[in-house]
Amino acid sequence: MQPGTSQNGKYIYFGCAFPYSLCTFAKLSLIVQRARVSASGQRRLAGKTTLQLKILCMLAPPGYFFLPMRLLVYGLNYAPELTGIGKYTAEMADSLVAAGHEVRVVTAPPYYPEWRVYAGYSAYRFTHERSFHGSPAVYRCPLWVPQRPGGLKRLLHLASFALSSFPVVLRHAFWKPEVIITIAPALFCAPGGWLAARVCGARAWLHIQDFEVDAAFSLGILKRRILRRAVTAIECFIMRRFDRVSTISAQMMVRLAEKGIPPERRILFPNWVDTAKIRPLEMVSHYRSRFGLDDDVVVVLYSGNMGEKQGMDVLLDAAALLSANAKIRFVLCGDGVARMQLEKKYYFLTNVIWLSLQPLEELNYLLNAADIHVLPQRADAADLVMPSKLTGMMASGKAIVAAALPETEIGAAVKGIGLLVPPGDSAAFAGAINALADDAELRNRLGAAARSRAVDKMCIQSILGRFDRDLREACAFKGQ
């Protein structure tokens, strides 16, 4: 990215000093230059000469320059939510701050996956959490959180946040960010994010974690064909207005193309995992003793949200089929709208241990308590979402059993590191779990392959570093 490509009258810092050898191998160091960029994009230097900066441009290696930007992140979910979109959005924002950018976040109070606003937060007040120690400034806006979200209630829930947050996002247009990054879900926020970007001349970026409209109709949360056509048309219209649209998997990129997003605007921005924090343990996890399990018991772990998309009933039906096997125990960790109903329905299963979401610092120990990770998923949601929990499963170095067809994105991700079973087939799920429980060598081989793939393809530093570069390129080529 070339220096001086920003706008809006902001200050940009070009830096830092670097060594350069010429004939005598003497070091050439040029210190940080301060440049002011006017609204017309013309650079005027304050202090050092333009000639020095030109020399610096010629001698610096490609990509050497660092241009801090003002970035506004706009989305429904954020830390301290431990799972799903909130976790990834917070890690993304923190990494951008660590890279030197000035970041602000407009979001809601944490409530997911319990569908209950966390203690210490308010669903009715606007609050501001100041930036500190490498974290962005966070502006939280009120929303309505239904205890049992259904079709209409879920829409009202999303709309409540979009309405309350719109004035806050619009006000931040006067902060003059270079990029406004809107996170979907919720697509209700997309018009506000786009409008604010247009008001201040920023790049409008939409990042899609789930195709919530398609998923809502596929899962039966919303119904009626006429409504689907109308909502899909509005969704496509909104998406096409953005300068960049990113999503997390190859199949979801294909879906962006189907919705009319041109190739130059589509960006693959997959989810990631910190492989230094989530890694195989050299010792036995303390969770096994907490559960009162012997060393020879095979632990089958599900950790994550328990909602409509997960197909948890299929997993619990598989647990019922394996209830006579004393060497297999299921641990289900998480919360969500379906958990209470599931516990009532399957109260008789003595081989299932129910666990609430665990603190983030305990996540690696929890994942390492497993011998087998399970990923139930409904067939009609297979290519509309990419489960965020999959990255942690892989990084922990354990074998996986996933309910997915081979041709789906989930099927491709699990191929070679686990076993695939048809979605909705509890007998096949039970058979795959039983096969892995009886074959420790196969479990270890698949787990090692999972760990290797996580390190090679899902490393947090690599993915977020590439996203940083994509942001700069988006600002550099304003006309595209």
Superfamily (CATH) of domain 70-272+459-476: Glycogen Phosphorylase B; (3.40.50.2000)
Query: What pLDDT is attached to residue 46?
Result: 37
The pLDDT tens digits of the residues spanning 106-126 come to 999 999 988 899 999 999 999
Per-residue pLDDT, averaged over 413-437, amounts to 95
Q: Which residue has the higher pLDDT, 333 or 131?
A: 333
Query: What pLDDT is attached to residue 221?
Result: 63
Residue-range domain boundaries for the chain? 11-59, 70-272+459-476, 286-457
Q: Do the domains spanning 70-272+459-476 and 286-457 agree at the CATH topology level?
A: yes
Element (DSSP H or E) covering residue 390: helix 389-395
Mean pLDDT of the chain: 83
Asked if 123 contacts 143 with a C-beta cutoff of 8 angstroms, the reply is yes
Query: What pLDDT is attached to residue 311?
Result: 78
Query: What pLDDT is attached to residue 207?
Result: 97
Beta strands, E only, 338-473: 352-355, 372-375, 399-403, 418-421
Smallest Cα–Cα separation from 308: which of 76, 150, 159? 150
Query: What pLDDT is attached to residue 18?
Result: 37
Confidence tier at 295 by pLDDT (50, 70, 90): confident
Per-residue pLDDT, averaged over 266-271, amounts to 95
Per-residue pLDDT, averaged over 43-64, amounts to 46
Angle at 337 (CA atoms; ends 331, 343), nearest 5 degrees: 45
Least confident of 154-158, 176-180, 316-320: 154-158
102: left (phi over 0), alpha (psi -120 to 50) or beta: beta
Confidence tier at 308 by pLDDT (50, 70, 90): low
Tell me the C-alpha distance between 257 and 213, whole Å: 16
Within 8 A by CB and 6+ apart from 233, the residues are: none
Confidence tier at 237 by pLDDT (50, 70, 90): very high
Confidence tier at 34 by pLDDT (50, 70, 90): very low
| 280 pLDDT above the threshold of 60 | yes
| 3 pLDDT above the threshold of 60 | no
The percent of residues above 90 in pLDDT, for the chain, comes to 61
| 223 pLDDT above the threshold of 80 | no
| 6 pLDDT above the threshold of 60 | no
Q: Kindly write down the DSSP assignment for every residue of 52-70, as one continuous string.
A: HHHHHHHHSPTT------E
The pLDDT tens digits of the residues spanning 184-211 come to 988 889 999 999 999 999 999 999 998 8
Query: What pLDDT is attached to residue 322?
Result: 97
| 284 pLDDT above the threshold of 50 | yes
Instruction: State the architecture of 286-457 in CATH terms.
Output: 3-Layer(aba) Sandwich (3.40)
The pLDDT tens digits of the residues spanning 370-397 come to 999 999 987 665 556 678 889 999 999 9
